Each structure stands twice: as structure tokens, then as C-alpha cells.
Amino acid sequence: QVRVVESGGGLVQPGGALTLSCAASAFNLDDYAIGWFRQAPGKERVGVSCMRTSHGTTYYRESVKGRFIIFRDDGKNIVYLQMNNLKPEDTGVYYCAADPWLWADKLCQVKDYRSLEVWGQGALVTVSS
């Protein structure tokens, strides 16, 4: 059964850093686009950063460019989201998702996130002083 499991959420002060992990099982990341979505309280789920490792392509939401980095651990089926200079508006539940039929940008910009093949349970990130 294909699945992804997130880890690494927590409470961090503004300006701090946090790294999320997404471990994929029963499928090869070389065959999928994978990325991170955020759902803030009372708001829609939005794509934050996505990648398609087989093509070396990445996508970042405008608000996180220059602060977040998505990368894969070489040889492992794990994708990370390194979040630097965190702001209170980065608060939310971060979900990892993957789909074999989309490019990185299309994954992050998908209109109906429920159409994606694989979703994790989410990791809560709270940025607060």
C-alpha cells in the first residue's frame, strides 16, 4: 500500500527553523512528483513546495521563496522541507502528498487536492513567540 508519513513538526519562534520529513513507502520517488501542502486554521489547503526528482524540477510558493528548501535524501525515499526564517503566517498543518501523473508545479497548484494519489496525516507547525 502506497503511503507517506510526515514527521518533524513542532513549535518554533519567529525567525527560527524547522525541517519536516516525508518518508515514502511502497513506491519509488523517481516515478512521482512529491510535495508539501499547508492548511492554516480556517483556510484552504495550499501547495507550498513540490518537486519531481526524476526531472530535477522544483516549485515554491511565492511566500516561501528564499526561505524554504525542498530536497531529497539521495538513495532514500525521503523528502525534506527545510524551513528557515519562519513567520507566524507559516503556521498550519503540513501535509506531504505525491502523484505519478503531475509535474512539480502542477502538483503544488492542483485545484482539488483530494484528487492526488497519496496523502499523509500531516504535521503541525506552529510559529509563535
Which of 77, 110, 102 minimizes the C-alpha distance to 5? 77
Cα dihedral value 115, 82, 6, 33, nearest 10: 30
pLDDT of residue 52: 95
pLDDT of residue 113: 87
d(CA 75, CA 69): 18
pLDDT of residue 122: 96
Which residues of the chain are under the pLDDT cut of 50? none
pLDDT of residue 76: 85
Note the pLDDT tens digit of each residue in 47-62.
Answer: 999 999 888 899 999 9
d(CA 115, CA 66): 29
The residue behind cell 528557515 is 84
pLDDT of residue 56: 87
pLDDT of residue 15: 98
